[in-house]
Amino acid sequence: MTSRFTVLFSAACFSLAMGAPALAADAPENWPTQPIKFVVPFPPGGPTDLMARLISEPLAKKLGTNVVVENRAGASGNIGSATVAQAKPDGYTILLAASGNMSVNQTLFKNLQYDPIKDFASIIQISRFPLVLEVKSSTPIKSVQEYIDHAKAKPGEVTFGSAGNGSPQHLGGELFKKVTGAPIQHVPYKGAGPALTDMMGGHIFSMFDILGSSMQYIARGDFRPLAVTTAKRSQQLPDVPTMQEAGVDGFDYYAWHGIVTTAGTPEAIIKKYNTALNEIFADPEFAARWEGIGSEVVGGSPEQFDQLVRSEAERLGELVRSLGVQLD
């Protein structure tokens, strides 16, 4: 009996010892041990893609592994978002979250394949972007009031492009239309890049674009900014008035972004991400680069970002419902 017990005990100890390295490799304290996939649910070239690529290099250095940006565009961000919602909750797949795919699409789409609140774990808010109402510099329009007057004088002529239904550009324009009564017409695109290209070509009249993606066009004189949509002026365009200063009372609208991962990911891994990203944003050199794309430097805790996602789902959901817009 003793001999048999000794053999069985030794075999059990050997099995545990052999399995220990594998268990340790998956433990949060040893994470990460493999590359991280950073899913951007929008096409290359837009502000979300730019943000992910700016963050990926310093994040890789902080965590000691590769961070690979993967664009999974389609359905206003739903395809890439669903991919991360269904991923293994081990922290190796993260999502560039935006106000659209996190706080608008659950109201906009009838059959969403993910739940923005239940299927993700918040990590951090990374941006707050004003939108800018802009027209081509070749047009005679030089103020918000002239833009409104032109739209009312020629109904249907003044169009505004967006990155897609439910995108910040779309909702910014619809909110402006609702507040001012200007009969402007929405033209959705598959991403901000194609919309900007068509605006350059004169195929659309205007955009309520995220400042970061339009700065290069404004800087070289292609587009004329008429107003920013936030309550305060932008540091990037200090001479451009706010909507309120331009005569549109109570207008305060902005786009925001953050990073989330799959629900059920260990808290220790989320904390590692949050600590690393807050350290990145605290670096003055990185902060200057971030502000250079038109965004405020944000940061903060996972709980703060989670609260933003939930409150914006109520605010933006109400706006979508008031517009009577719903997609399959």
* Domains observed in the chain: 33-128+255-323 (3.40.190.150), 130-228 (3.40.190.10)
Residue 282 has a pLDDT of: 97
Residue 324 has a pLDDT of: 81
Residue 16 has a pLDDT of: 42
Per-residue pLDDT band for 19 (boundaries 50, 70, 90) equals very low
The continuous run of DSSP H or E covering 126 comes out as strand 120-136
Residue 165 has a pLDDT of: 80
pLDDT for 45 beyond 80: no
Per-residue pLDDT band for 9 (boundaries 50, 70, 90) equals very low
pLDDT for 14 beyond 50: no
Angle, nearest 10°, between helix axes 47-63 and 267-282?
110
- Among 13-17, 129-133, 194-198, 258-262, name the one with the lowest average pLDDT: 13-17
pLDDT for 202 beyond 80: yes
Reduce the DSSP state of residue 261 to 3 states and report it.
strand
pLDDT > 70 in the chain, percent = 91
Q: What is the mean pLDDT of residues 225-231?
A: 95
Residue with tokens 């020629």: 154
pLDDT for 254 beyond 60: yes
Instruction: Give the pairing of strands 185-188 and 120-136.
Output: unpaired
Structural contact between residues 130 and 291, judged by C-beta atoms closer than 8 angstroms: no
Residue 164 has a pLDDT of: 82
- Among 64-68, 220-224, 233-237, name the one with the lowest average pLDDT: 233-237
Structural contact between residues 86 and 265, judged by C-beta atoms closer than 8 angstroms: no
Instruction: Give the pairing of strands 254-262 and 120-136.
Output: antiparallel
The backbone torsions φ and ψ at residue 240, rounded to the nearest 5 degrees and listed phi first, read -95, 130
Amino acid at 160: F
Instruction: Mention every residue, 6+ apart, whose C-beta is less than 8 A from residue 8.
Output: none
Question: What's the rounded Cα separation, in Å, for the pair 137 and 124?
Answer: 37
Residue 22 has a pLDDT of: 39
What is the pTM (predicted TM-score) of this model?
0.81
Tokens describing residue 49? 């893609």
Per-residue pLDDT band for 26 (boundaries 50, 70, 90) equals low
For residues 27 and 237, the model is more confident at 237
Most confident of 9-13, 74-78, 164-168, 202-206: 202-206
